[in-house]
Amino acid sequence: MNKNETDTLAIVKPDAFGSGKAGRIIAHLEGAGFRVVAATVKHLTRPEAQAFYAVHRERPFFDSLVDFMTSGPCMPMLLRRENAVPELRRAIGATDPAEAEDGTVRALYAESKERNAIHASDSPENAEIEISFFFAGTDRLSG
Ligand code: ATP
Ligand code: MG
């Protein structure tokens, strides 16, 4: 592992996974310099989705977000490149696809502000927590 590389977590959300967009999204991210270090396909339970998005539990969209994230399987991925966290946020675009920059994953593949195709960790600290959530046993090759 290049010493400047760091890790982040992405999830191809149930809208994109269920409509057959996972392959194109992975190809897009590989084209943007990310390597897939680990990946899985998982249908989240409600307690898992509530725990993953616990930071949003007081928000008005929380129950709807949990409904959406448990509506079908999703694809969590551990991604690696230089400056992974901010570079992945840049590559996916704004939360609302109507505001996402041209060429970003959400501009290309998201349906709406809720059904927005992909999740990405928003800080290195949260990336570590979120990677542990899905890939606790994975060899990180770091340190
Ligand atoms: P994510 O955390 O999934 O990468 P984000 O960081 O761009 O997305 P957050 O503010 O963390 O956005 O919101 C988490 C998710 O909750 C969004 O990606 C979206 O699916 C949903 N969401 C956020 N705001 C709204 C809203 N106003 N209405 C409906 N759904 C929303
Ligand atoms: Mg977020």
Q: Which ligand is nearest to the CA of 95?
A: 1
The average pLDDT across 39-60 equals: 98
Count H helices and E strands in the chain, helices first: 7, 4
Contact between 65 and 119 (Cβ < 8 Å): no
Q: Whose CA is nearest to atom 13 of ligand 1?
A: 95
Checking if the pLDDT of 139 tops 90, the result is: no
Q: What are the sequence ranges of the domains in the chain? A: 5-135
**What's the rounded mean pLDDT across residues 35-44?**
98
pLDDT score of 1: 66
119 is known as an active-site residue: yes
pLDDT of residue 143: 41
Q: What is the mean pLDDT of the chain?
A: 96
- Architecture of the domain defined by 5-135: 2-Layer Sandwich (3.30)
What is the whole-number distance in angstroms between the Cα of residue 128 and the centre of ligand 2? 14
Which residue is closest in CA terms to ligand 1's atom 10?
95
